[in-house]
Chain A
Amino acid sequence: MSEGLKLRFPRPNPIVPAHSVAGRTLMLLIGIMTFLSCVTFGGVLLVQKSAMGWSADVGRELTIQIRPLDGEVIESNLRLAVSLSEAVPGVASARVLTIAESEALLEPWLGAGLDLSDLTIPRLVVVQLSDPNAADIARLETDISAIPGASLETHAAWRMQLNTMAGTIVISGILVLGLILVATALAIVFATRGTMSTNREIVDVLHFIGASNRFIAGEFQGRFLLLGLKGGLAGGLAAVIFFIFAGTAMSTVVPQQSSAQLGVLFGQFALGISGLLGIVGVVLVIAGLTAITSRLTVRRFLTQIS
């Protein structure tokens, strides 16, 4: 009718008043749940990435160990091992570790300044593979066995253990994620039922003037979707900040040298693009979960009372 009135009503008030939805508490809860999910997800991803990295690094390297035996000239046996190795397809290079290098390897266990010269420690040949899949490890093993006192260490058992451990962590993480999602869904069910009960009068009046359950449900659901998105975004953002903070804390607090080792251990503690995408995914899943759970709960409530 009149323009003035239209301006005064830019948009009708929502039928379900905003403050009547257990908003802030639910949003906080969703935020916390999202944060926990994201941190779990990120942790699992880091463990998996690091384990894969180590496994690949270790898989590219073999060690031949030659024990000094009486009546054997160790230096010529070492040279033989190098030339035999280099003849095997898939091997990029083979190199004898000097005694000094071997001692350096043992230092963390035996302490510095120890004179190992009269200790008969085994000598090592490090074999780098150009392609771990194409390398003929079996042939290398038989060739090497011809050298007295020589044995081949493929780290296969260690890698298997590493993979099992990483797998266990990943599965536990997924389990935790699942439980967090279930707990979130349950909390949303309670919050939704509470909201419906406090707004019972509105629901009844709407029913009496001919509103369908679909219409009423729609009025409530919009609210919950918004809450889920807001809470989820807040939680996801907090998780990203947490990972950035944890990453920088790691590199400042921990001394340079061990930090490099930790970097190797934790893949630089960086989530990377896949991690960020994953966090976005977690946020969307939680928002969607909120919407679907509240939708089902609202529908159930409306069916029960009518």
Chain B
Amino acid sequence: MIAFENVGLRYGHGPEILKDLTFAISPGSFHFLTGPSGSGKTSLLRLLLLSLKPTRGSVSMFGEDVSALDRDRLLQMRRHIGIVFQEFRLLDHLTTFENVALPFRVRGQAEPSYRSNVEELLDWVGLGDRMDAHPAVLSGGEKQRAAIARAVIAKPDILLADEPTGNVDPELSERLLHLFEQLNRMGTTIILATHEVNLLDKFDYPRMLLNDGELTIHE
């Protein structure tokens, strides 16, 4: 599903943030991505989201070399990838409901076709009564849950989550992880960046460890 070969990344003329990454991720797997702050977790996720191009090496996703993709194909691939940003990136002028419904809207679907779907998910993440609220009045944890809901609402094949539990209490954090597990069981491949030790201890999934730009995978 995802294969990296000798991938290196640097920003501009800066130092190489990611060095010689070679790994493969099979469909339906669940990986934690961990490592100290500034080790390049977000950068690696951006490579996977196809929003950054590697400085060297090759990335292939869904069996295709991404360097050769045209815009339309890239767009199609993005629609199979869900992303939870570390800083949420909700649109401030839209309500929680509208933010979560955005993936349907950009696919040109009409509201009646997804309304109950979105409401159900928002209930599930505990935002049932915050649907008309704007992000500005949501707490950090509420924003985080809205961001997660937006990433998973369209049932992506790959879910990339950047510190998706950084702003919630341990109990909710565990509940959210159960949501990810449930999605994973339905076939979604998940890469979840976190440095929360209690989650890493409680859930036994392979870990991708970034350190000094090098990646090691602990099965």
Q: Is the CB of A1 within 8 A of B105?
A: no
- Residue from B71, B72, B116, B132 in contact with A1 in the complex, judged by beta carbons closer than 8 Å: B116
* Interface pick from B33-41, B94-102, B167-175, B207-215: B94-102
Interface check B51, CB cutoff 8 A: yes
Interface check B93, CB cutoff 8 A: yes
Q: Is the CB of A209 within 8 A of B106?
A: yes
Complex Cα spacing A202 to B72, Å: 20
Least Cβ distance of B119 to chain A in Å?
5
Least Cβ distance of B138 to chain A in Å?
16
* Interface pick from B13-21, B60-68, B107-115, B195-203: B107-115
Interface check A197, CB cutoff 8 A: no
A204: chain B residues at CB < 8 Å are 89
B102-144 residues at the A interface, CB under 8 angstroms = 102-103, 105-108, 111, 115-116, 119, 131-132
* CB nearest to B107 among chain A residues: A210
- Residue from B71, B72, B108, B111 in contact with A12 in the complex, judged by beta carbons closer than 8 Å: B111
Q: Which size class do A's interface residues fall under? A: 20 to 34
A206: chain B residues at CB < 8 Å are 102, 106
Count of A-B contacts judged by CB separation below 8 Å: 62
- Could you tell me how many residues of chain B have their Cβ less than 8 Å away from some Cβ of chain A? 30
Specify the main secondary structure of chain A where it touches its partner.
Answer: helix
Least Cβ distance of A196 to chain B in Å?
15
A211: chain B residues at CB < 8 Å are 106
Q: Is the CB of B119 within 8 A of A5?
A: yes
Q: Is the CB of A209 within 8 A of B111?
A: no
Complex Cα spacing A8 to B89, Å: 25
Q: Is the CB of B75 within 8 A of A210?
A: yes
Q: Is the CB of B91 within 8 A of A205?
A: yes
- Residue from B79, B93, B94, B119 in contact with A210 in the complex, judged by beta carbons closer than 8 Å: B79
Interface check A17, CB cutoff 8 A: yes
Interface check B155, CB cutoff 8 A: no
Interface check B10, CB cutoff 8 A: no
Q: Is the CB of B93 within 8 A of A17?
A: yes
B93: chain A residues at CB < 8 Å are 13, 17, 20
Task: Map CB proximity to B onto A17-53 as digits: 1 under 8 Å, 0 otherwise.
Answer: 1001000000000000000000000000000000000
Interface check B83, CB cutoff 8 A: yes
Least Cβ distance of B75 to chain A in Å?
6
Complex Cα spacing A7 to B187, Å: 36
Q: Is the CB of A209 within 8 A of B98?
A: no
Q: Is the CB of A208 within 8 A of B83?
A: yes
A207: chain B residues at CB < 8 Å are 51, 78
B75: chain A residues at CB < 8 Å are 210, 212
27 A-B residue pairings within 8 Å (CB atoms) = A8-B132, A9-B97, A12-B98, A12-B101, A12-B105, A12-B111, A13-B95, A13-B98, A15-B91, A15-B102, A15-B105, A17-B93, A201-B89, A207-B51, A207-B78, A208-B83, A209-B103, A209-B106, A210-B75, A210-B78, A210-B79, A210-B81, A210-B107, A212-B72, A212-B75, A212-B106, A306-B71
Considering the complex of A and B, which 8 residue pairs feature the smallest CB-CB distances, nearest first? A211-B106, A210-B79, A17-B93, A210-B78, A1-B116, A209-B103, A205-B89, A1-B119
> Which A residues form the contact surface with B (CB < 8 A)?
1, 5-6, 8-9, 12-13, 15, 17, 20, 201-202, 204-213, 215, 306
